[in-house]
Amino acid sequence: MPLPLPTDKDNKTFVESLVTMGGCGDTCTKSGHADHMYCRTESMKEQAMRNSDGDYLIVPQTGTLTIQTELGYLQVPPKCISLVPRGILFSLVVAEASRGYILELFKGDSEVLAAAARARRDGLLGRARYSGGQVGGDLYGEHE
């Protein structure tokens, strides 16, 4: 069952709302995955995150996400998949309450990059842009 959307008095950022639902494998051997859900109402102002364990496949169920990475910005509408590769610094901006799912893949980069190349070939990837700005404030990291 999906997490309920937070109310205005329950403001949460991506990091605060992240819940691990399950998974298998091991990050040290680069095998397996973890399944997460998020449910947030606030943008990550002056915050950023870097995941050292695996690649994030983020799928919004409700609410469009703007993902700001060190490589540029991605607009991700509901039911579309975005890829944030392992080690990339990112921050999420939201204009409305949003909820979604994250598949964290611990496998090597070759499989995820091959899938991204196929998506680019088929015209399914958005275009990134870079503003030259810096993310200040808190930096969150996920690693074993």
Arithmetic mean of pLDDT, 18-46 = 85
Q: How far apart, in Å, do the first and last CA atoms of the chain sit?
A: 27
Residues forming beta bridges with residue 47, ordered by sequence position: 138
CA dist 60 → 30, 46, 118, 128 (Å): 25, 22, 21, 18
Arithmetic mean of pLDDT, 39-58 = 85
More confident residue, 63 or 129: 63
Q: Where are the domains of the chain?
A: 8-125
Mean pLDDT of the chain: 77
Whole-model pTM: value is 0.74
Q: Which CATH class for the 8-125 domain? A: mainly beta
Kindly tell me if the per-residue pLDDT of 114 is higher than 70. Answer: no
